[in-house]
Amino acid sequence: MKFLSNKPYTRWWWFSGLIEEPVIRYQLDWVKANNFGGVEIARVYPLPDSKPGPVWLSEEWTQIVLYTKEYATSIDLGCDFTFGTAWPFGGSIVDEKDAARNFKGLSSQRLEKSWENSAGSPEFILNHLDKNALKRYARKIGKALKPALKGKISGLFCDSWEVETDGLWTEGLEEQFKERFGYDLMSYQKTLNNHPDVKYDYRKLISDRIINEFYKPFTEICHEFGAYSRVQCHGSPTDLISAYSVVDIPESETLLFDPHFAQVAASAAMLSGKKIVSAEAFTCLYGWKPFPGPGPYQKQELITDLKIVADSLFANGVNFLIWHGMPYNPTRGSNQFYASVHVGADANFVEKLAEFNKYIEEISKLMRTGKTYGDIAVYLPLEDNWMRDKLPDDMLRPSAQYYWNLQYQRFPLELTGYRPIWVNGYFLKDAEYDGKYLHCGAGDFPALYIDSKWLDYDTLSLLLRLAEQGLPICIKQKPSMPGHVHSKIYEKDLNALFKYRNVHGLLTKTFLQAPLIQGKDITEFWCRQDDDDLIVFFAHPKSKEIIYPMHYGQSLCSKVIELEVIINWPGKRVEIRLEFYPYQSLGFRIDKDGKAEHLSTIFEI
C-alpha cells in the first residue's frame, strides 16, 4: 500500500449544516499553505443557529464530499473519511436488527453528537460483534462515499471504540461460548463481576469476536472500496496487539492516552510488517470538559507544549500525526470543536504552524526509514488485565475505566536502555527460534521477557515449545492459569518450563546482551534499522514528564540538558554526548563501523 505523505494530516470537523464550496476551497488552500499533507473529514453535530445542510448520505451530501475530494486532489492533498458520523458507528442506517446488544437485550446506548442529531432523537449503535451487520452498514455508507473514493487513494477511518462494553452480546454467542469453554455462561450472567475466572473466558471470546467480526472485515471492506483502513483499536475489549495487526494503519491517540501507550500500536505494526503508525495528536492537551466544552486553554495552546508531545509520540513508535483538529470555518469564522487543540487561521500558534508541520514531516520521514528495531520481545500481560476489572477512582480518566484499557501498562524498569517490543500469544504461535533469534511475526529478537501473574495455558504450551528450541526466556514469576476450567497438566507443564537451563527469573542470567543505550537518566527513544545502520531518535528529556493532562506551559525551559550515553551497535561501544537545547530533540545514525552521524532535527521556537 502506497501511503501519500510524510506530512501531518488534520481532522476536519464538518458540523451538520450548510457546507459551501468557497469555504472548502479556502480551508483546503489554507491547509496546503501550512504544510499539511491532507485532511480527514469527520461529520459531527450541528452548531446552534446553523443553516440546514445536505441530508445525511443524500445525493447532495455525496456531491459536496466528491467536490472536496477532487479539489484536495487538484492541490495534492490527501483526503480521508471517517466511516460514519460521530463515534462509534451508528445512525439512522442501523435498524434494530443490526443494533448493539447486551445481556439484557437491545443496548440503551445511542449515537450522540452526530450529523443527524438535528433530525430527531439519537439513533442506534451498530452491533460490532456481527460482520453481517457491519456489511449492511458499509453498503449504505459506501454507496454515498463511492464517487469520492475513486482516483487518489483515501483512508477510511474508524475512531476509538466507545461502545458500552458491559455485558456485550450478540446472537449465537451463548452457543459459541459453551462449545469453546465447555460450560454455560448464562448461569453466571447476573453475577459475572463476582467471577473473574468466568469473566476472563467471556473477555477472551469477546476479543476474538470483535477482531473477526469487526476489525478484520472492516479492513476487507476498505479494500473492496479501493481504500485503506486507519483504525484506533484502543478502548475495545480486545487483545490489542492482534486487533491492531489486522488493520492497514494502526492509530494511537494522545493526550487522552499517554504517549507511551502508542508502543502497543507500534509493536503490532512491527510484528505484522506495517510501516506506518499514526496517532491522533494533541487531543484534550490540557484536560477534557464535557460537551459543549470548550476544553482548558483552547485557542491558547503553546507551540512548545505541542512540540514535546509530538516528539514523545515519535519516541514511542509513531511516524504519522493527525492533528485533532480543524473546525469547518469560513474566512474569519469562529467555529470550534469542543474537545481538541484548535487548528485554523485563528490558532494561537499559527505563525509557527507551517514551520512546525515541516519539522513533523522531516521526523516522520526519518522514522519511516528502514524498519522498526527491537532487541527484546516482552509478553504483554493481557491475562493480568483481563482478570482485573474497573480501575480505582484515583486512576480513572475520560478514556480509562478498566485495567484492560492498558493505559497503565508499561515496560519493566529493568529493561531501561533496551528497545523492547510487545508481543502476544497470537504472534508467538508461529514463532521459531533458530539458535540466535526468535522470529516472531516480522520481528527478530534474541530473547523473550515475561512478567505475568496469570498465563493462559495456550501461551504456556507455546513457551514450552520455544524453550525446547533453546530460546532464552526470562520469566519473573510463577504464573497461575486464568479462566474457569483449569487444565490438569498446567502445573506439570509449568514446572517443566522452569527446568530448562535457558529459562530463568533473572534477566542477567537469561540475556547477556548489554542494553542498546547505556547511561544515566536515559530519555525516551525509538529506533529504526536501515540495512546495517541504526537510526535513534531521542526525545527531549521533558517528554518523560508527559501524562494526561499536561500543565499549561509544562514544556517551558531555558537550560541545556547534557547526557552521556553509550550506544552498543553492532558489538561496538559508541560514546555520544547528548546536548538537548530547550525544546529540541536529537537524532543519530550509527553505521556498522560504529561511526555516529548527528541528524538534523531542529525546529526553532
In tens, the pLDDT along 402-447 reads 999 999 999 999 999 999 999 999 999 999 999 999 999 999 999 9
Mean pLDDT of 384-390: 97
Q: Of 198, 217, 220, which Cα lies nearest the Cα of 129? A: 217
Question: Measured between alpha carbons, how far is 454 from 204 in angstroms, rounded to an integer?
Answer: 14
Statement: residue 525 has pLDDT above 60: yes
Q: Give backbone dihedrals phi and psi of 598, rounded to 5 degrees, phi first.
A: -80, 125
Task: Give the start-to-end residue ranges of the domains of the chain.
Answer: 372-510, 517-599
Give, as one character, the DSSP assignment of residue 486. P
Q: Of 222, 221, 220, 79, which Cα lies nearest the Cα of 151? A: 79
pLDDT band, very low/low/confident/very high, at 181 (cuts 50, 70, 90):
very high
Cβ atoms within 10 Å, residue 592: 13
What is the CA angle 527-528-529, rounded to 5?
A: 125
pLDDT band, very low/low/confident/very high, at 119 (cuts 50, 70, 90):
low
Contact 176, 201 (CB under 8 A): no
pTM exceeding 0.95: yes
Beta strand 596-599 with 586-590 is antiparallel
Mean pLDDT of 385-413: 96
pLDDT at 122 (0 to 100): 81
Question: Measured between alpha carbons, how far is 126 from 133 in angstroms, rounded to an integer?
Answer: 7
pLDDT at 571 (0 to 100): 87
- Percentage above 90 pLDDT, the chain: 96
Assess whether the previous peptide bond of 88 is cis (omega < 30° from 0). yes
Q: Cell 469453554, residue?
A: 181
Contact 262, 318 (CB under 8 A): yes
Statement: residue 2 has pLDDT above 60: no
